[in-house]
C-alpha cells in the first residue's frame, strides 16, 4: 500500500486509470532486473538487503520521471 500512494502522486492517476496489466507489467520488469544479478533469495545473507536496494535504485533510475509541481 505504501508504494501506491507514491505511484498515484507521481503519475497523477487514480485507481480507476491503473489496471492490473500495468501492475503485472511492472512486476515482470522488476523480476527481470532482480534476475540480472540482484537476487539473493536467502534473506539472512548479508548481501540480501544491499542487492535489493541496488535493484530498486536501478529500476528507479530508468523509470521515474521528475515531478513538476
Percentages (nearest 5) of helix, strand, coil residues in the chain: 70, 0, 30
Q: Is the pLDDT of residue 69 over 60?
A: no
Structural contact between residues 39 and 51, judged by C-beta atoms closer than 8 angstroms? yes
Contacts of 30 (CB under 8 A, 6+ apart): 55, 59
Greatest mean pLDDT among 1-10, 14-23, 46-55, 57-66 lies in 46-55
Note the pLDDT tens digit of each residue in 20-60.
777 888 889 889 989 998 989 899 999 999 999 999 898 88
Of the pLDDT bands very low, low, confident and very high (cuts 50, 70, 90), residue 66 is low
Model's pTM, two decimal places? Answer: 0.56
Domain boundaries, the chain: 19-69
Tell which wins on pLDDT, 25 or 17.
25
Amino acid at each position: 500500500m505504501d508504494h501506491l500512494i507514491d505511484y498515484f502522486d507521481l503519475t497523477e492517476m487514480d485507481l480507476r486509470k491503473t489496471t492490473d496489466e500495468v501492475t503485472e507489467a511492472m512486476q515482470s520488469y522488476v523480476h527481470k532486473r532482480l534476475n540480472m544479478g540482484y537476487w539473493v533469495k536467502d534473506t539472512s545473507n548479508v548481501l540480501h538487503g544491499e542487492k535489493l536496494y541496488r535493484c530498486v535504485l536501478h529500476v528507479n533510475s530508468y523509470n521515474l520521471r521528475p515531478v513538476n509541481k
